[in-house]
Amino acid sequence: MENRDVDAIRGYHDATKHSVASVYHTRHTLDWETMPRPFKVYTDLPAIPLPRDFASSTRPALAAIADPGTASGSGPSLDRAALARLLYFSAGIVRRRTYSGGEIYFRAAACTGALYHIDLYLVCGALPDLEAGVYHFGPHDFALRQLRTGDFRAALVEATGGDPAIAGTPAVLIATTTFWRNAWKYRARAYRHAFWDAGTLAANLLGVAAAHALPARVVVGFVDDRVNALLDVDTVREVALALVPLGAGAPMPAAAPPAPPLAYVTLPPSSREVDYPEIGRAHAASSLASDVEVAAWRGTLPAPSFRDAPGPVVPLAPDVAVAEPIETVILRRGSTRTFGREPVSFAALSTILRSATRGVPIDVATHPDVYLLVHAVDGLTPGTYHFDRRADGLVLLREGSFRREAGHLGLGQDLPADAAFDVFWLVDLEPVLARYGNRGYRAAQLEAAIEAGKTYLTAFGVRIGATGLTFFDDDVTAFFSPHAAGKSVMFLMAFGRPRRATLPS
């Protein structure tokens, strides 16, 4: 079973690490003539418009963002209006901006390079105003397009080895990535970005679902070929990443009808594509090919035994109160382009950390470790910290001013140096790969990205700025060592007060 050959994913991870040499000595330049379009467009299928008159939730935004998946019961009835709200606030276009070269479409969730390579598909039984089928969501015209007619939920039950959340749901959203739409800029590292960007989108989706008491969960374990065949995607270019069942209490679906190949035409992403074979090899190595492999995927990874704290634990401060709904926070969110080096409150930092670390509703846990570089937080000594989840507090690792080092770790950019604080997610991949095989790499990237997406939203809830960044992998690990020795960096976020108006992403 290829999933157990973990040298394959180790090789991909090592080969796509950023270093000073790899970044500053590259000859790669952006070919603007081949920049991919940011949408998948089916040319011949009729659009099923979605309603745009959304009713906001009443639950406070931060409670919804931090929710670990506590919704019980079946949740509210799913119909086109409910689906439209979920789709708009996770993958919809919330702003448009014209420039000399055309128009930029900004989505509800952040995406590396604003390239928006994540697509959403819907597989549902019969809903009050939508017939059972398989659909593609088109953000460009905010509409669904039906790819198959009939109830295919049973195919997903089989593909996930009978996952209980899939078996009892009226509808499932499936996130895919089209490799080239991100690799155009980021080359082979785009496979990491597939899970980063699916994760920030999932953070929005889970938050909106929680705000409306709708059960939702992220499922990473499934037989890849079966799900891809149901969507009829060209797996050289596009693949399924995660399934999100919505709602509960639906009758177990009957056997799915046949799902023969389709022949629908889509617009090409661009006039020419460049293949990065490392992506295809990493995806193949982390694919599950049978029910046996999916069954082996089930189970838990014991939480790591933390090293003895080198100093006392600083308890987090009480949360900042935010009464507005999550929909308002999502519409305000953007990527901060400059920070002003002004301090933020310890309460804001505490609220941001809590929002991310109360739990993620996902089929496996990889236990990401959270490290901080604190520059200007009122009442908190500048330096490096580890977040102790069990104690709900921060442990000072090293006292000092490290703005220059922060800029270097964040690929030599000013943003992490000028921020009030930076948060890094690291994972010890060895126990993850030993338990889950290469598929664990997907889960580790995705879980860290969902937590990062939660902090992104919370920052704008407490009225400070935030942005996601890339990093020099081994330099980050070395900087936080010996505490972080042997761990791999999954995600980096910078937080602070914007210096001037921000450009959303």
CATH of the domain at 289: 3.40.109.10
Which residues make beta-bridge pairs with 245? 172
pLDDT of residue 270: 96
Say if CB 336 and CB 467 are below 8 A apart: yes
Decide: helix, strand or coil at residue 370: strand
- Going across the sheet that includes 313-315, the strands are 313-315, 393-399, 383-388, 369-374, 421-427, 488-496, 465-469
pLDDT of residue 80: 97
What is the token pair recorded at 192?
A: 């990491």
Cα(467)–Cα(94) distance, rounded to whole angstroms? 18
pLDDT of residue 502: 47
Strand ranges inside 211-303, DSSP E: 238-246
Q: Are residues 386 and 481 in the same domain?
A: yes
Q: Which amino acid is at 326?
A: I
The 8-class DSSP code of residue 402 comes to -
Buried b (16+ CB within 10 A) or exposed e, 201-213: bbbbbbbbbbbbb
On whether residue 307 sits in a domain, the answer given is: no
Q: What is the mean pLDDT of each run of 10 residues along the chain (505 residues)?
A: 91 96 87 94 97 93 96 91 98 89 88 96 97 98 98 97 95 98 97 98 98 97 98 98 96 91 95 96 97 89 69 92 95 94 98 96 95 98 96 96 98 97 98 96 98 98 97 98 97 94 50
Decide: helix, strand or coil at residue 246: strand
Token pair 């995927």: residue: 297
Q: Are residues 379 and 325 in the same domain?
A: yes
Q: Which amino acid is at 212?
A: H
Considering just the CA atoms, what is the radius of gyration of the chain in Å?
A: 22
Q: Are residues 393 and 465 in the same domain?
A: yes
If one counts the domains in the chain, the total is 2
Angle between helices 346-357 and 439-461 (to 10 degrees): 140
pLDDT of residue 305: 66
pLDDT of residue 308: 57
On whether residue 24 sits in a domain, the answer given is: no
What is the token pair recorded at 220?
A: 């990473």
Instruction: Please give the residue range of the domain that contains residue 455.
Output: 313-496
Token pair 């398989």: residue: 134
pLDDT of residue 252: 85
On whether residue 22 sits in a domain, the answer given is: no
Cα(264)–Cα(293) distance, rounded to whole angstroms? 31
What is the token pair recorded at 505?
A: 């992403």
